[in-house]
Structure 1
Amino acid sequence: MSSQGLAKEHYEMGLKKTPFYSRQKELDIMNEWHRWSGYTVPNVLNDVTFEYFAIRNSASVFDITPMAKYRIKGPDALDFMNRLLTRDMTKLRVGRVGYSVWCDDEGMVIDDGTVFRTSENEYLLCAQERQLETLKRNALGFDISFDDVSDDIAALSFQGPLTCTILKKVGFEGIDQLKMFDLKEFAFAGTTVMISRTGYTGDLGYELWINPENAGDLWDALFEAGKNYNVKAIGGDALEIARIEAGLLMAGKDFSPATSTVRPGHAKSPYELGLDWLVKLDKGVVFNGRRALIQERNKGPRYRFVRLDVEGNKTACSAYIFDRQGGKTIGHVSSAAWAPTAKKNVALGFVDMPYGEVGSTVWVEIYYQKELRWNRRWAKAVVMDGPFYNPERKTLTPPEAV
């Protein structure tokens, strides 16, 4: 059959450009881009080091338009969210944002994301990957409507210690009163922009959500207000360092979504991801995976999520974890980086239970290339209690005046 007139497969379609693409392209000198949910987005625009330090020392702008976004509304919106997610959604007030996960029937995590309660019966669910089929399956019997608004909302992650100062200069009066995980709508250029005090860097920061047709004006306003504050556009490589330094998980990197794992046992539960605080078994309603999670709570998880302080300066990318040098393999590293602000060689990973208690020592086998030759070294690693980097300014309200 001729393919003429048939819908193109995703791999035959050209990459889409976000409303911020032209602004980013003007600043790009590296020409290193990748695909994210059908959009082309930068790995780095100028220099990874400069972009990283913009996150920690001034202000950084990262395009998060490709995120999956779903608007869920109706009389049963709360009941639906409580059925879908593991946390107790009755505790999420209007004007607040919550982080959560959702699971399959075996209690394995499908994805994680943020939930914005924009009104009494309306939510915005944001995730890294598309979740339309999951929503369709769970919507049966609920009086709700849901729409994929991924392409209808342009979004920026604005992170760093000077972000509040710059936003005030743009004219967002009262932005300094937003607490962590608050959200509020502000007037801007004849429309509105929703601003949430959220982010993926473990630092002071905000996310800005706006109509695509007004996206360029918002970008220009941030850079004009921040021209004396060294505001920089950044790519995904700098963000990757910051999120590892903050000890934050990434789907597809630290865990395989349950809907895409091929081999049994390769998906992970919230308990195995160190997210047991998100599982509310006693919230009074049945939610996806609850029965399996009750069994796991009683029996104990298979793995433990660990944050490792690795000796030396050779990053432990894709390393195996051992109970001692040359000993038993007990786990693996999923993400690793040199953390410039924490000044640590850090790694995220998973070990078999009962290994990996806080304060314990494990070993990692590191391979690194130098002048086209592969080298191997053993390094001790200490299991840390909490993030490697967790500044007070992240939660301070109002943020410190600059």
Structure 2
Amino acid sequence: MRDSPRTLRRNDPGDAIRTIAERYGEPESYCVLGGNVASVSTWRGISFEDQYAAVTRGAGVFPCGGMYYLSVTGPHASDVLNLLTPRRVDLLEVGQAAFVVFTTPEGTVDTEGVVLRVGDDGFHVSIGGEARPPTWLHDAIDHHPGTRVEEVDISSFNIKGSARLPAMAALLAEEFATPLARLGRFRGLRARTRWGARVWVVRTLIGVEMWAAPEDIHLAWRAMVAAPETYAPCGWDVLATYRLECQEFSFFLCPLDIHRGTHLFDVGLGHVVSARKHPPYMGFEALQKPAQAGGRMRIAGLRPTSPDAPCRTVGERLFGGASDGLTGYVTSAGYSPRDRRALCFAHLPVDVPPDGTVRFEDGTTWSVVPLPIPPVRKGDEAP
């Protein structure tokens, strides 16, 4: 949508948008995420090209105001979380994090997030997607009524790009530079900012995040906006591009690409089912037989053979397959400077070959490509 949304939920607790707008101008456009959470697509005063350069060769910073944070504490905190996901949360050490998919009884995606163990009996959970607690949280608490679960007043931001670690280090007190440089993936560091605030810094697979009280995240944004030579604020348009080009893993978002209609094994998330995890946990029976589970659809990449093909939009219908009828839809779309053309993620039925083609309603034909979407090669151009 092009106008400022009238009603936002948990949009910007760190006041990042207003702080960024003071230097770069008002947002050019907004996008609506899940759960009526809106965020900025891009800003008037910082080009897509500059944002793309930051996330590929520098430090691009994304506000995370739409996230939902939970604190889970008590002797059975890990047991409560283990009831909600097929991943073994109890194996995390203090300071260790993990990407977690919370599942439904059918073995599909309820929501997703990052779990960080902050103490022997305590966890922080950062939930994306629709910015809400896992649906069956209260049922899990009923099994362990002594566990305390509450929403935490935390905000965050995420830095991506090759200079992300030194960019984060510049916000911290000097003594944390070396521990941050040595921080492993999916590890958290309890640190102090250079203005004295206590924060968690969490390194993920492709980014580094700061989790802190909203007033401290606000001060971090003040510092970053004042240093445009180091930090570039980024919006959801460039995030879509970054996700489509990502080679480290298939970078899906909930509820765009994965949701309650997508079985874990259909969408390539079988790796989040921990080996030898014992029941009960949500979706256990549905996740025991991967060969029989799901089987209705899969996520694929789409790439036009011509660089002149127009960019697509989320939700556009696709045609083809065995019946040559309606066969799927676009879940994510964006422009790839790497490939000099548009790219998409799409839901497709299993009868569409991995190297097949689909077409849009305007007759444009696109190739189905593997995930992660590989860079375009010589010979992929249209004759």
Q: 2:18 aligns with which of 22, 30, 40?
A: 22
TM-aligned CA deviation for residue 18 of structure 1: 2.5
2:177 aligned residue: 173
The answer to whether the 8 Å contact 1:356/1:383 transfers is no
Q: 2:136 aligns with which of 121, 134, 137?
A: 134
Matches within 5 A, 1:244-259: 244-246=244-246, 247-255=250-258, 257-258=259-260
The answer to whether the 8 Å contact 1:84/1:288 transfers is yes
Structure 2 residue matching 1:95: 3-state secondary structure: coil
Matches within 5 A, 1:113-152: 113-128=113-128, 129-131=131-133, 133-142=135-144, 143-149=146-152, 152=153
Partner amino acid for 2:61?
V
1:335 aligned residue: 332
TM-aligned CA deviation for residue 14 of structure 1: 8.7
The answer to whether the 8 Å contact 1:304/1:356 transfers is no
Partner amino acid for 2:167?
I
Partner amino acid for 1:173?
A
Greater Cα offset, 313-322 or 123-132: 313-322
Distance 1:93 1:13 in 2: 36
Question: How far does the alpha carbon of each residue in 1:331-373 deviate from its partner, in whole angstroms, 9 at most, with x for none?
Answer: 333222222135454221222225444xx2x222235xxxxxx
1:54 aligned residue: 54
Structure 2 residue matching 1:166: 3-state secondary structure: helix
Structure 1 residue matching 2:21: 3-state secondary structure: helix
Structure 2 residue matching 1:179: 3-state secondary structure: coil
1:293 aligned residue: 287
The answer to whether the 8 Å contact 1:304/1:355 transfers is no
Gaps spanning 5+ residues in structure 1: where?
A: 1-10, 259-266, 368-375, 390-402
Distance 1:278 1:39, change over 3 A: closer
The answer to whether the 8 Å contact 1:184/1:195 transfers is yes
Distance 1:220 1:321 in 2: 48
Partner amino acid for 1:304?
R
The answer to whether the 8 Å contact 2:84/2:134 transfers is no
1:386 aligned residue: 372
Gaps spanning 5+ residues in structure 2: where?
A: 1-5, 376-383
Question: How far does the alpha carbon of each residue in 1:91-121 deviate from its partner, in whole angstroms, 9 at most, with x for none?
Answer: 3222122112112222221111111112222
The answer to whether the 8 Å contact 1:310/1:347 transfers is no
Matches within 5 A, 1:3-402: 17-19=12-14, 20-26=16-22, 27-33=24-30, 41-46=39-44, 47-128=47-128, 129-131=131-133, 133-142=135-144, 143-149=146-152, 152-170=153-171, 171=174, 172-174=176-178, 175-188=180-193, 189-198=195-204, 203=206, 205-224=207-226, 226-229=227-230, 231-246=231-246, 247-255=250-258, 257-258=259-260, 267-280=261-274, 282-295=276-289, 297-298=291-292, 301-313=295-307, 314=309, 315-317=311-313, 318-323=316-321, 327=324, 329-343=326-340, 345-357=342-354, 360=355, 362-366=356-360, 376-388=362-374
Distance 1:95 1:299, change over 3 A: closer
Distance 1:87 1:133, change over 3 A: closer
Structure 1 residue matching 2:280: 3-state secondary structure: coil
TM-aligned CA deviation for residue 15 of structure 1: 7.8
Distance 2:368 2:328 in 1: 14
Partner amino acid for 1:58?
G
1:263 aligned residue: none
Count of aligned pairs:
350
TM-aligned CA deviation for residue 68 of structure 1: 0.8
The answer to whether the 8 Å contact 1:363/1:378 transfers is no
Partner amino acid for 1:249?
F
Distance 1:316 1:331 in 2: 14
Question: How far does the alpha carbon of each residue in 1:193-214 deviate from its partner, in whole angstroms, 9 at most, with x for none?
Answer: 2111127xxx4x3111112222
Distance 2:339 2:13 in 1: 33
Distance 1:208 1:388, change over 3 A: farther
The answer to whether the 8 Å contact 1:18/1:39 transfers is no
Question: Normalized against structure 1, the TM-score is what?
Answer: 0.78
TM-aligned CA deviation for residue 327 of structure 1: 3.3
Question: How far does the alpha carbon of each residue in 1:56-88 deviate from its partner, in whole angstroms, 9 at most, with x for none?
Answer: 122112110320111111101111221111112
Across the aligned residues of Structure 1 and Structure 2, the Cα RMSD in angstroms comes to 2.8
Distance 1:312 1:92, change over 3 A: farther
Distance 1:253 1:39 in 2: 13
Partner amino acid for 1:136?
H
